[in-house]
Amino acid sequence: MKTEIYDTTLRDGAQSEGINFSVSDKIKIIKLLDALGIDYIEAGWPGANPVDEEVFREIENLKLKSARITAFGCTKKPKVRPEDDKVLNMLLSANTEIITIFGKTWDFHVTEALNTTLEENLNMIRESVKYLKQNGRQVFFDAEHFFDGYKNNPDYAIAAIKSAYEAGAERIVLCDTNGGCINTEIYKITKIVKETIPEAVLGIHAHNDGDMAVANSIAAADAGAFQIQGTINGYGERCGNANLCSIIPNLQLKKGVDVIGKNLTKLVYAANSIAEIANVSAPANQPFVGRSAFAHKAGVHASGVAKNSGTYEHISPESVGNSRKILISDQAGAASVREKIEHLRFVDNVSEKDIPRIIDRIKKLEWKGFAFEGAEASFELLVMEILGQKREFFKLLGYRIIGDTIAGISNINTEASVKIQVGDEIIHTVSEGDGPVNALDKAFRKALKDVFPQIHFYKLNDFKVRILDGADGTAAQVRVNIETTDGFNKWDTVGVSENIIEASYMAIVDSIVYGLILHSA
Domain boundary, last residue among 386, 406, 424: 386
Per residue in 257-273, pLDDT (tens digit) is 989 999 999 999 999 88
* pTM greater than the 0.75 cutoff: no
Residues 303-332 have a mean pLDDT of: 70
Angle at 453 between CA 452 and CA 455, to 5 degrees: 80
Name the residue with higher pLDDT: 172 or 385.
172
Residues 414-434 have a mean pLDDT of: 90
Whether residues 123 and 199 fall in one domain: yes
Q: Single out the residue of 65, 9, 39, 34 nearest to residue 259, CA to CA.
A: 39
| 254-289: b (≥16 Cβ within 10 Å) or e | eeebebbeebbebbbbbbbbbbebbeeebeeebbbb
How, if at all, do strands 412-422 and 395-405 pair? antiparallel
Q: What is the CATH number of the domain that holds 103?
A: 3.20.20.70
Name the residue with higher pLDDT: 304 or 124.
124
**Residue 287 forms part of a structural domain:** no
**Residue 282 forms part of a structural domain:** no
Distance, CA of 445 to CA of 423 (rounded, Å): 17
Whether residues 326 and 349 fall in one domain: yes
Residues 210-233 have a mean pLDDT of: 97
Whether residues 506 and 373 fall in one domain: no
Q: Using a CB cutoff of 8 Å and minimum separation of 24, what contacts does 366-372 make?
A: 366/329, 366/330, 367/330, 368/477, 368/496, 369/468, 369/477, 369/479, 369/496, 370/479, 370/494, 370/496, 371/329, 371/479, 371/494, 372/327, 372/328, 372/329, 372/494
Residues 297-312 have a mean pLDDT of: 61
**Residue 288 forms part of a structural domain:** no
Q: Tell whether the model's pLDDT for residue 8 goes beyond 90.
A: yes
Whether residues 431 and 479 fall in one domain: yes
> Going by C-beta distance under 8 Å and a sequence separation of 6 or more, which residues neighbour residue 233?
13, 243, 245, 271, 274, 275, 278, 280, 282, 286, 289
The predicted pLDDT at position 6 comes to 98
Whether residues 53 and 118 fall in one domain: yes
Instruction: Round the average pLDDT of the chain to a whole number and report it.
Output: 88
Q: What is the largest CA-CA distance in the chain?
A: 90
3-state SS of the chain: helix, strand, coil percent to 5? Answer: 45, 20, 35
The predicted pLDDT at position 304 comes to 62
Per residue in 458-479, pLDDT (tens digit) is 888 888 888 876 555 556 788 8
Indicate the range of 174-188, 285-299, 400-414 predicted with least confidence.
400-414
Q: Tell whether the model's pLDDT for residue 341 goes beyond 60.
A: yes
Distance, CA of 390 to CA of 346 (rounded, Å): 9
Whether residues 443 and 476 fall in one domain: yes
**Residue 286 forms part of a structural domain:** no
Domain boundary, last residue among 368, 386, 404: 386
Distance, CA of 487 to CA of 511 (rounded, Å): 14
Judge contact between 168 and 138, C-beta under 8 A. no
**Residue 182 forms part of a structural domain:** yes
Per residue in 113-160, pLDDT (tens digit) is 899 999 999 999 999 999 999 999 999 999 999 999 999 999 999 999
Assign 271 to helix, strand or coil.
helix
Whether residues 130 and 259 fall in one domain: yes
**Residue 283 forms part of a structural domain:** no
Whether residues 14 and 77 fall in one domain: yes
Whether residues 73 and 219 fall in one domain: yes
Q: Tell whether the model's pLDDT for residue 505 goes beyond 80.
A: yes
Indicate the range of 147-151, 166-170, 205-209, 489-493 predicted with least confidence.
489-493
Assign 140 to helix, strand or coil.
strand
Assign 71 to helix, strand or coil.
strand
Judge contact between 75 and 124, C-beta under 8 A. yes
CA distances from 500 to 347, 416, 478, 507 (A): 30, 14, 6, 11
Whether residues 312 and 263 fall in one domain: no
Whether residues 96 and 242 fall in one domain: yes
Q: What is the CATH number of the domain that holds 490?
A: 3.30.160.270
Q: Tell whether the model's pLDDT for residue 202 goes beyond 80.
A: yes
Domain boundary, last residue among 386, 405, 439: 386
The phi, psi pair for 229, rounded to 5°, reads: -100, 145
Q: Single out the residue of 259, 266, 204, 264 nearest to residue 230, CA to CA.
A: 204
Distance, CA of 482 to CA of 458 (rounded, Å): 12
Distance, CA of 346 to CA of 149 (rounded, Å): 61
* Residue 430 structural domain: 395-518
The predicted pLDDT at position 469 comes to 66
Distance, CA of 314 to CA of 147 (rounded, Å): 32
Whether residues 117 and 190 fall in one domain: yes
Indicate the range of 40-54, 155-169, 245-259, 482-496 predicted with least confidence.
482-496
DSSP character at residue 227? E
Q: Tell whether the model's pLDDT for residue 90 goes beyond 90.
A: yes
Number of domains in the chain: 3
**Residue 289 forms part of a structural domain:** no
Residues 315-337 have a mean pLDDT of: 70
Distance, CA of 241 to CA of 214 (rounded, Å): 9
**Residue 344 forms part of a structural domain:** yes
Provide the CB-side half-sphere exposure for 335 (13 A, CA): 12
